[in-house]
Structure 1
């Protein structure tokens, strides 16, 4: 097991630079998720760690050793791909044992390692089967077993759950997290699904257009997003955003929206009087007002029952906002109501640069 240190790493294809000098420190035994929209550079960064892409500048170290010029097979990493990459003519045992057989390892050691990995992944009854005889989840476990058998310093996962159905994805992400807790091998996991990132990671690296926007624990990113991109990307449903001007009176701070609605902010929020800002609040921090309460006037647009919660999408002035409620309200589209923000739950961002104030 080892740390992974990424220093000022850049990647360019010809004159087009796609990774812009990023820095990430991944600690020994840590599970770090690289997350971001398609094209943000997360898979390219993972492939550079693996040695499958040459870096254009900067330095990558694994276990304290600079690996810029080290071939992939000598980096002591194991990679789990999106498409499983299993050999169809080999059974499960031979697929998992393949890398050790290439190294001419002792057959007894191969058998011990494969059977040990199979026990961890509940693959014991399937060692004699071929990939075509397995389900998608079983194939993915075989791919992980092949990585475990190698006993690497670092596991690299490149969107390994993308080909699975929704129920199986939930099951497999739990299995991968449990596997990491058992093996404690340093792991770097790439996904575009922020729910996967939130539920699996020790820390999350949020990427956008080849830059790192923020690094932190899942709850740090959720509770204190550093900028508008992170605020809108982390959390499902996404944070509600209202544009307006920052105002202060009687020791309190407010955002007066473009629709002349006053939203109270924390009194110590930064920024200048009259500055153009964006006020953000999570759907779970907006509730439906009782008859006697004041709040933001809203008109119901869409209701989405999800079981535990009901998502109520409303038109608030010129903005569509979402409130998540656990109560069963008999609402209809077009109905008028009021929304009450939770005190102290608002976030204020500079409208021009997007940074948190």
Structure 2
């Protein structure tokens, strides 16, 4: 196990810069997820940690060693790829033990390590099969087994579940998290799926256009997003954004005035802002306590109900943890839950705390 330290990392492909002076400290034994939209640089960053991409500028340290210019084989890392990368002509056992064999380890040690990894991953009955005889989930387990037999300092995962169906993804993310809890090996995990990141990671790094927007625990990012980008990326369904301005009566958007928490009364009337409300932070109330919202679409989700609503001229999504007997065209009265409203500067997108929004 080891910490990973990235210092002022830059990456250029020709004239195009894709990583801009990035700093990141991943602690020993920590599970860190890199998330962001396509093209944000998360896979490129992972490949630089692995040594598969050269660093244009900056340094990478693993376990206190400067590995910036070392070959991948000398970094003591193991990587699990999206496409499994198994050798089709080798058995499961041979695939899992290949890296140790390549390093000239004794056959007895290889067999022992393969059996150990197979027991952890439930692969013992499959050791003599070939990849073509395995399901997608089994192949991914073999790829993970090939990584853990080496007992590396750091595991690197590059979107390992994206080729699996939805049900199997849920199973496999539980297995990966359980594996980390058992081995406590430093893990860097790239995914475009923020639900994966929220359920698996100790900390999440949100990337956008090659820059770090925010680093924090899943709940920190969910409860106090640093800016509008993070607020919209973390959470499913995504946060609703309503443009408007502060007034003595509340937050005035087009066609509606939303009630605000008492802390917002200190903010200067007329100040423009973007009001962010998560779908699960709406509540139904009486006409005198909320604002009218027309139901546009009803999506029953079993124990939950997701509604598309129109607040004034703004469409929003609301998620209620109950079954609602409503139909399109009906009008409900709703309000944001106290303390669950987020405000963002309309120019910079930065979070506006009350003490920063008085001017």
1:295 is displaced (CA, Å) by 1.1
1:41 corresponding residue in structure 2? 41
- Structure 1 runs, 4 residues or longer, greater than 3 Å off: 268-273
SS at match of 2:117: helix
- 2:104 is equivalent to residue 104 of structure 1: yes
SS at match of 1:87: coil
Aligned with 1:304 (options 290, 299, 303):
299
Distance 1:273 1:320 in 2: 25
Deviations 1:95-124 (A, max 9, x none): 000001011101111111000000000000
Distance 2:108 2:262 in 1: 65
- 2:283 is equivalent to residue 287 of structure 1: yes
2:355 corresponding residue in structure 1? none
Q: Is the contact between residue 304 and residue 310 of structure 1 (CA under 8 Å) also seen in structure 2?
A: yes
Structure 2's unaligned 5+ residue stretches are: 353-359
1:58 is displaced (CA, Å) by 1.2
Q: Is the contact between residue 82 and residue 162 of structure 1 (CA under 8 Å) also seen in structure 2?
A: yes
Superposed, 1:109-148 pairs within 5 Å as 109-148=109-148
SS at match of 2:260: strand
Superposed, 1:260-339 pairs within 5 Å as 260-265=256-261, 267=263, 272-290=268-286, 293-339=288-334
Distance 1:296 1:25 in 2: 45
1:296 is displaced (CA, Å) by 1.8
Is 154-163 or 276-285 further displaced after alignment? 276-285
Q: Is the contact between residue 222 and residue 235 of structure 1 (CA under 8 Å) also seen in structure 2?
A: yes
Distance 2:321 2:264 in 1: 31
- Seen in structure 2, the aligned counterparts of structure 1 residues 247 and 6 have a Cα distance that, compared at 3 Å, is farther
Distance 2:52 2:317 in 1: 42
TM-score by length of structure 1 reads 0.95
Distance 2:79 2:129 in 1: 22
TM-score by length of structure 2 reads 0.95
Structure 1's unaligned 5+ residue stretches are: none
1:76 is displaced (CA, Å) by 0.4
Distance 1:316 1:273 in 2: 21
- Seen in structure 2, the aligned counterparts of structure 1 residues 347 and 106 have a Cα distance that, compared at 3 Å, is same
Distance 2:265 2:334 in 1: 23
Is 33-42 or 333-342 further displaced after alignment? 333-342
1:259 is displaced (CA, Å) by 2.8
SS at match of 1:172: helix
Report the RMSD for the aligned CA atoms in angstroms: 1.5
Q: How many residues align?
A: 352
Deviations 1:64-96 (A, max 9, x none): 111111111100000000000000000000000
SS at match of 1:267: helix
Distance 2:264 2:191 in 1: 36
- Seen in structure 2, the aligned counterparts of structure 1 residues 38 and 325 have a Cα distance that, compared at 3 Å, is same
Distance 1:179 1:355 in 2: 37
Distance 1:265 1:59 in 2: 46
Distance 1:269 1:191 in 2: 40
1:275 is displaced (CA, Å) by 2.3
SS at match of 1:12: strand
1:274 is displaced (CA, Å) by 2.3
Distance 1:12 1:37 in 2: 19
Q: Is the contact between residue 266 and residue 346 of structure 1 (CA under 8 Å) also seen in structure 2?
A: no
Distance 1:269 1:175 in 2: 48
Distance 1:48 1:122 in 2: 32
Distance 1:313 1:244 in 2: 20
1:268 is displaced (CA, Å) by 6.1
Is 61-70 or 211-220 further displaced after alignment? 61-70
2:30 corresponding residue in structure 1? 30
1:255 is displaced (CA, Å) by 2.5
SS at match of 1:314: strand
